[in-house]
Structure 1
Amino acid sequence: MKQKSQAKNKTATLAAALTLTFLLAASHAQAQAQTQVQTQVQSSPGGLALAQQQNCMSCHSVTRTFMGPALRDVATKYAGKPEAQSYLAHKIAEGSSGVWGVVPMPANTQLSPGQAATLAGWILTLK
């Protein structure tokens, strides 16, 4: 009987150790992903500064869905598409609705075509 109890304790200890190892690995992976996003955002400070200056960050976040989609999700969706930068620049300048849900994105008529292209290019680096 004592051997069964010891076996159960060893099994429970092993299960707890495996769970802890899994949680630590997941936490480490999440920290690495966050560091990668921070590095990408900082590697193109002009894009981030322009996004902040033009109030893009009022509705968007780099990593979290807010009023609009996370910019990283936008980058992932359009990654590898040949006309992605011009398509996004057009959407930024002219506005959009229905692509990411029911909340429309207003036109950003204050942006020059070059600024819209800069923002689109920066967004695409966030994937």
Structure 2
Amino acid sequence: MKRIFLAIASIAAGFVISTPALADLPLATAKNCMTCHAVATKLVGPSFKDVAAKYAGQKDAVDKLSAKIVKGGAGTWGPVPMPANAQVTSDEAKKLAAWVMTQK
């Protein structure tokens, strides 16, 4: 009985730990982020894992990224500019940026 309980607890703990990494994938999909980005591979733009690695350790990373999500940007990742995303609110952009920073 203890083994079954421990197995269930381990699975539940693994699910709880992994859930934040998936927390805003539906939002990223709904806001068309996944058209140009993927979690682990480069598409038109960099992967979210590459973005998280580039901004790792920067205290203002979420603010920088959320501004780029809404306003767009150019030159950081090469010649292809990221268009502005007027359909993304500032709160959604912060949520997306915080999620991107959890990708490792």
Could you state the TM-score of these two structures normalised by the residue count of structure 2?
0.79
Structure ranking higher in helix proportion:
1
Higher relative contact order (CA 8 A, sep 6+): 2
How far is 1:80 from its partner? 1.0
Q: Count the aligned residue pairs.
A: 89
Q: What is aligned with 2:63?
A: 86
Q: Write out per-residue CA displacement over residues 62-101 of structure 1, whole angstroms, 9 at most, x where no aligned residue.
A: 1111100011000000011010000000000000011101
Q: What is aligned with 2:93?
A: 116
Q: Write out per-residue CA displacement over residues 27-56 of structure 1, whole angstroms, 9 at most, x where no aligned residue.
A: xxxxxxxxxxxx987434331110000110
Structure 1: how far apart are the matches of 2:18 and 2:24?
Answer: 8
Read off the aligned partner of 2:31 and give its amino acid letter: Q
CA RMSD of aligned residues (A): 1.7
- Contact (CA 8 Å) 2:37, 2:46: kept in 1 or not? yes
Structure 1 52/40 Cα, relative in aligned 2: closer, same or farther at 3 Å?
Answer: farther
Any unmatched runs of 5+ in structure 2?
1-15
Structure 1 41/91 Cα, relative in aligned 2: closer, same or farther at 3 Å?
Answer: farther
Identity of counterpart residues, as a percentage? 44
**Structure 1: which 4+ aligned runs deviate by more than 4 Å?**
39-42
- Of 48, 55, 68, which aligns to 1:71? 48
- Of 14, 19, 32, which aligns to 1:55? 32
- Contact (CA 8 Å) 2:21, 2:103: kept in 1 or not? no
Task: Give the greater-gyration-radius structure (CA).
Answer: 1
Q: Which secondary structure state, in structure 1, belongs to the residue aligned with residue 49 of structure 2?
A: helix
Could you state the TM-score of these two structures normalised by the residue count of structure 1?
0.66
Q: What is aligned with 1:107?
A: 84
